[in-house]
Amino acid sequence: MYQYDQIDQTLVDQRVAQYRDQTQRFLAGQLSEDDFRALRLRNGLYIQKHAPMLRISIPYGLLRPDQVRMLGRIAREFDKGYGHFSTRQNMQFNWPKLEQVPDILALLATVQLHGIQTSGNCIRNVTSDHLAGVAADELEDPRPWCEYVRQWATLHPEFSYLPRKFKIAVTGSPADRAASRVHDVGLHLVKNEQGEVGFEVLVGGGLGRAPMIGHVIREFLPKKDLLAYLEAILRVYNLEGRRDNIHKARIKILVKAIGPDKFRELVEEEFAAAKDTAPVFDAAGFERIKSYFAPKAYETLQDQDVVSGKPQEFRNWYQYNTRKHKVAGYRAVFLSLKSPKRPPGDITADELDHVAALAEQYSLGEIRSTHDQNVLFAHVKQSDLFALWQQLKLHDLATANIGTLTDMICCPGGDFCALANARSIPLAEQINERFDSLDYLYDLGEIQLKMSGCMNGCGHHSVGHIGVLGVDKDGEEWYQITLGGSTGGHDASLGKVIGPSVAHDDVAETIERIINVFVEHRQEEERFLDTFRRIGVAPFKAKVYAPADQAA
């Protein structure tokens, strides 16, 4: 992974000192609430329902053991003993004291972590495929390009005060495990007819109040033009994007308003006009960045049968929580943060310490956070899988449910967030209680359940196979259900609302009714999403809103 040089470290250290001074001036009454708000947001600090929330940037989800231990230390000393992984691969702490945040940032800086640009109307953390560099279906490792973009975007003076936040995802696989089609900009590494590798560029995706799938505005962009083209996109957005209405300020609204063809035309004009002043591709600098992502020192091994003679519990875990690695003799391993005992995405300080130690022992010292709020060990020898599984079981990190209904995405919701209309975490508890048989979940196959406590869509409900959105009705919690969403590959789609919202206590039963329709209409090993697309919303709607005696 990328290693800071003196410039990187100096920048982060200076930012800590700057923010410490800003905090002290605010606490002394020398900065107003409004003035301080813009400053704290640029360092990842929100004011939530009960306490501040600090968001830590994890560029493209990559972590070292010392960084994970530091996150555990902060959770233990400055929070309530745990942290939360978000859908954009970052970590969030929900209980820091405002006056202690500079001390937290100072500690983070010692291990090359920070909160810079994790909030505010700027370019946010660049995300990527959590299997980048090890996936067999990958055209090229996208992480060097993520780092290249990150360095360009950090404190970029022209794009520090955009109309709204701006998110970029980069992927090298057609499977699109980075959800790039619902980002402001999605970058796909592709190959043209001449065999050259460049980027397909999508613009205008996003979730929240007006969810949209991004539009392709360039089918092939040469690598050397990446930063110049991104500047052209952002300059058009900066000039044309709305600033009079926060709900209409995202680039997706601009693209929809003028149309993707017109937006493409404006970007191409700006791209051509700015050629003489645009960033020039630094081949040597990029090769330096790329060197930090060289293949690991893998042993020469052969693939082997590691499940024969092992307990069924281990066999299930191997099937659901591990993935093929491009190097023979290795597997990528998901550490599930979706056991029935925890809110999805939460991890304790002690568990963070254990994860760091296990990564050193079993994953060549590398940890990754995933888009789906889990953790990944990308480099595990197949011969070590059983021993690793035994260790993960001891720490509640081996629930064999990756890709199943209970591997749900869930935002913190009304328990923490001041913006939420309803709680999300109690729904996860409901669903885990209702669907407590792993064998049944395995029979159902892949189902992506995603839940958000409000229209901001932090839980990605709009693109869930089953989406749950919290809404407020006269001070009571109700939930709107959508079906048929997807972020995968070229068939990304937005979910369709099936009907009126349902009461808090009825959510798990509603999902069970939906599942029953799927089971009734499913053909052979058909996925939930495929069944929904084949039969449409009507059968689900009829069952969900049928009287109790007819829904059984």
Could you give the angle at the alpha carbon of 494 between the alpha carbons of 465 and 531, nearest 5°? Answer: 40
Assign 551 a pLDDT band (cuts: 50, 70, 90).
low
Assign 418 a pLDDT band (cuts: 50, 70, 90).
confident
Based on C-alpha coordinates, what's the Rg of the chain? 23
Q: Tell me the per-residue pLDDT of 174-202, one tens digit each, with 9 for 90 and over.
A: 999 999 999 999 999 999 999 999 999 99
Assign 412 a pLDDT band (cuts: 50, 70, 90).
confident
| Integer Cα distance of 479 and 435 in angstroms | 19
- Work out the average pLDDT over 376-388: 98
- Work out the average pLDDT over 402-429: 92
- Using alpha carbons, list the distances in angstroms from residue 354 to 68, 131, 297, 367, 385: 9, 22, 23, 12, 16
Q: Is 199 helix (H, G, I), strand (E, B) or coil?
A: strand
Assign 400 a pLDDT band (cuts: 50, 70, 90).
very high
| Integer Cα distance of 433 and 505 in angstroms | 13
Half-sphere exposure for 9 (CA within 13 Å, toward CB): 8
Q: Tell me the per-residue pLDDT of 305-329, one tens digit each, with 9 for 90 and over.
A: 999 999 999 999 999 999 999 999 9
Q: Give the pLDDT score at 474.
A: 87
Cβ–Cβ < 8 Å for 374, 86? no
Q: Exposed/middle/buried for 349, CB within 10 Å: 0-12, 13-18, 19+?
A: buried
Q: Tell me the per-residue pLDDT of 135-169, one tens digit each, with 9 for 90 and over.
A: 999 999 999 999 999 999 999 999 999 999 999 99
- Residues above pLDDT 90, as percent of the chain: 94
Q: Give the pLDDT score at 512.
A: 97
| Integer Cα distance of 483 and 500 in angstroms | 13
Q: Tell me the per-residue pLDDT of 89-114, one tens digit each, with 9 for 90 and over.
A: 999 999 999 999 999 999 999 999 99
Within 28-174, residue ranges assigned H as helices are 33-41, 65-78, 101-109, 143-153
Eight-state DSSP code of residue 175: T
Cβ–Cβ < 8 Å for 418, 49? yes
| Integer Cα distance of 508 and 433 in angstroms | 9
- Work out the average pLDDT over 264-271: 98
Query: Phi and psi for 200 in degrees, rounded to 5?
Result: -85, 130
Q: Give the pLDDT score at 415.
A: 85
The pair of three-digit structure tokens given for residue 441, joined into one six-digit string: 């979940």
Q: Tell me the per-residue pLDDT of 495-513, one tens digit each, with 9 for 90 and over.
A: 999 999 999 999 999 999 9
Q: Tell me the per-residue pLDDT of 216-256, one tens digit each, with 9 for 90 and over.
A: 999 999 999 999 999 999 999 999 999 999 999 999 999 99
- Work out the average pLDDT over 532-548: 95
3-state secondary structure 325-342: CCCCCEEEEEECCCCCCC
The pair of three-digit structure tokens given for residue 210, joined into one six-digit string: 């007006």
The answer to whether residue 533 scores a pLDDT higher than 90 is: yes
Query: Phi and psi for 123 in degrees, rounded to 5?
Result: -80, 115
Q: Give the pLDDT score at 470.
A: 95
Assign 215 a pLDDT band (cuts: 50, 70, 90).
very high
| Integer Cα distance of 203 and 185 in angstroms | 5
Cβ–Cβ < 8 Å for 37, 314? no
Among 294, 366, 362, 356, smallest CA distance to 330 is for: 362
Residue type, 246: I
pTM for the complete prediction? 0.96
Weakest-pLDDT range from 46-55, 101-110, 233-242, 379-388: 46-55
The pair of three-digit structure tokens given for residue 187, joined into one six-digit string: 């970058």
- Mean confidence (pLDDT) of the chain: 96
Half-sphere exposure for 535 (CA within 13 Å, toward CB): 20
Q: Give the pLDDT score at 374.
A: 98
Q: Tell me the per-residue pLDDT of 442-498, one tens digit each, with 9 for 90 and over.
A: 999 999 999 999 988 999 999 999 999 999 998 899 999 999 999 987 889 999 999
- Residues above pLDDT 70, as percent of the chain: 99
| Integer Cα distance of 154 and 49 in angstroms | 29
Which DSSP string corresponds to 259-318?
-HHHHHHHHHHHHHHTTTTSPPP-HHHHHHHHHTTPPP----------STTS-HHHHHHH
Among 478, 467, 470, smallest CA distance to 420 is for: 470
Cβ–Cβ < 8 Å for 363, 90? no
The pair of three-digit structure tokens given for residue 515, joined into one six-digit string: 């599942």
| Percent helix, strand and coil across the chain, each to the nearest 5 | 40, 20, 40
| Integer Cα distance of 68 and 46 in angstroms | 22
Assign 48 a pLDDT band (cuts: 50, 70, 90).
confident
| Integer Cα distance of 27 and 100 in angstroms | 12
- Work out the average pLDDT over 59-69: 98
* CB atoms near residue 433 (< 10 Å): 10
The answer to whether residue 552 scores a pLDDT higher than 70 is: no
* CB atoms near residue 122 (< 10 Å): 21
Assign 549 a pLDDT band (cuts: 50, 70, 90).
low
Q: Give the pLDDT score at 416.
A: 87
Q: Give the pLDDT score at 76.
A: 98
